[in-house]
Copies of this chain bind each other. A is one copy, B any other.
């Protein structure tokens, strides 16, 4: 499948939805558009089309989305990381792939694919967005994340090899911070066979479908929220529900430890004594009303413009925005004990067990 300009716009919107707050795809979208305008094409392929022994090198941005707003990429950082890793491995990549289908990292591999003429595999390692590198199905199912390469806008690179994927995150995060809080990586190099076993399939087309659904609903004057809920029923992310509606009345946001961390408070439209508090680390982690959990990782917590259902990211959320908060169930594979150990509430230092959104609404 070749991506059109309309697809790209839809995909970016859907990816912002699946990003559950983390990292606006806008900047990445512009880079892909520029490449397409210059004649490059973006070819999306299914996992089934990847030969078992072909090398896939996923690419991504790493760091705080708050930084990306001010420190724009030069454009070839992720490409340099991929090339650096190819050089180290002594093999050329057959394709690139997202590590996360949500947020900006849905678009970075498209830039790499367009510029290098590599297909982009329609799959990812998160099925949404998460803030840390070990929070990937690749990791959960035993793929070593390193050797990994990390590059900044000066072309400075580090090729990191670690004894486990937590140490990869720890070192790469430290390097990202010293690179100014945003850097570009190539990691979890794997063969087609491994990708088929460990990746979440068809998440680029999922993002595209969601983004298109929102657009069409607007265009046809249907309620985009109701349309989204109907649409989600046809995907592995079955259950979607609007869990709060109101106005953003407070945001505490810090760029710290290589992340955008903070809280946002939304005052209910129906009852101004009622408030929802969202806690985020790049992505939204938990939504609480009167300290009671209304949705929690790994289920999606999506803050959307109350009128248009346009996703609002954690670096862009601000006082006065009228929003609806949607929670969405993730596929069962992301709720296993093994998965929850890696990206469930405890992995983020949150109290309490994971509670599926179906039991909370």
Residues in A lying within 8 Å of B, measured CB to CB: 88, 154-163, 167, 170-171, 173-175, 177-179
Contacts and interface: CB of A to CB of B under 8 A. Distances in A.
Contact of A175 (B155, B157, B161, B174): B174
Ranked nearest first, the 5 interchain pairs of A and B with the lowest CB-CB distance are A174-B178, A159-B159, A156-B162, A174-B174, A158-B160
A171 B158 CA distance: 9
15 contacts: A88-B159, A154-B162, A156-B162, A156-B167, A156-B171, A157-B160, A158-B158, A158-B161, A158-B175, A159-B159, A159-B160, A171-B175, A174-B177, A174-B178, A175-B175
Contacts of A154: 162-163, 167
A17 to B, nearest CB: 33
Nearest to A160: B158
By CB atoms of chain B within 10 A, which of A88, A155, A162 has the most? A162
Nearest to A155: B163
Given A158-B160, A171-B179, A173-B178, 14 more contacts: A88-B159, A154-B163, A154-B167, A156-B162, A156-B163, A156-B167, A156-B171, A157-B161, A158-B171, A159-B159, A171-B175, A171-B178, A174-B175, A174-B178
Nearest to A163: B154
A174 B88 CA distance: 23
Nearest to A157: B161
Contacts of A173: 178
A156 B168 CA distance: 9
Contacts of A160: 156-159
A132 to B, nearest CB: 14
A156 B178 CA distance: 19
Nearest to A170: B178
A154 B167 CA distance: 10
A82 to B, nearest CB: 15
Contacts of A159: 88, 158-160
